[in-house]
Chains A and B, each alone.
Chain A
């Protein structure tokens, strides 16, 4: 099964490298959004607005990135995958690929965000850790939602409608945690939130792993 997963991930990376749609397109989306925010907030904004804006940008970039993972596969290709792969390998490979993509995107986003809107983070390593955990969680949840939405006639709207309420636990935890990191609060204060974030990530990936086979059979 590990071989299947690595083969699938290699395929995704290869496809991506050929067209560079995600890396190019969504990167541009992120940079453009950051720039719009920079233009709208002329003066230095306060920490909570900085934080919220950052995560909103990450959220929307994530929705776009994950949407393309299922919504652009044609039926014929899905049937082909069905015959050669196990569903678990398929969903795991998609999750890993999307998580990797989101990781790169969010770190680049953070870079541009600090460039334009200033770097307010006092506790940088913790913040990076939060960005890593958060983007992995958000992207895996959105991959699963995209799989669900792909069954509803590949509609992007339905994916957004389904995704936003469900993503709220992860989003709220991450915003709280990163606000503490920006303030530079003591690390021990955050431990319970970290616990929640980590367990949310694990729950989402486990649920996706268990439930995707039911979606697999068309």
Chain B
């Protein structure tokens, strides 16, 4: 087990390092910060001076060396736009993103599990059709469109929820639903499929044969086994959830890492983009690591294998 964890940790570090390198190179493809940073009247001479001051006229390799030597110490440089260290700026926005993504994930799971179980146990019936219809809709609807529609309906027309921003629990409802909807749809289909498979297993038939009540068969025997793939998928989906959060945070002006990163990209704020990618990548890698370990704990066959 220790060797397994050590190997997974080593891979995780390599992935984060690789992502940092890619993000460093990609920022250079996205354009020069000079034109955005300087006032419109800046001349070629001023642009050259700016590039020299910030080291953007050095060869790419020199810049990468500088970036790497600082990054290993957790220093991604000062934000061009905010004039403050990048990493603390991003870290300050993590709680908002975590609040949103964790709420969205819990919401997706809480809705998807009963829907999937109902669909599996009523296979081919109206409930199954309804659950699959909801899932199809959830997977087809673009989340930014859903977000705008919810704002118009629940905030503007009915005045039930705030249009945007972060504050009390009411603020999190629409952004969380907008993010959760795709994941909920995916998980509903997954739970349905795995439940159908598990319900056909011998031990379920044995349970029923022993005269166990159907609720007991479902909750004690079938569901725990059907949920194992769910853990993996939820873990893998965390990256997608963060991706979705970037869009939804922007629509709802939710003050998280996603919104901040989008602004940094648009403003060519290289240090913030690099710090943000580093933190998000580390988050995704960590979650995946936890999922892998959890999977081993849930299914001893993997450990034995």
| A, B: real partners | no
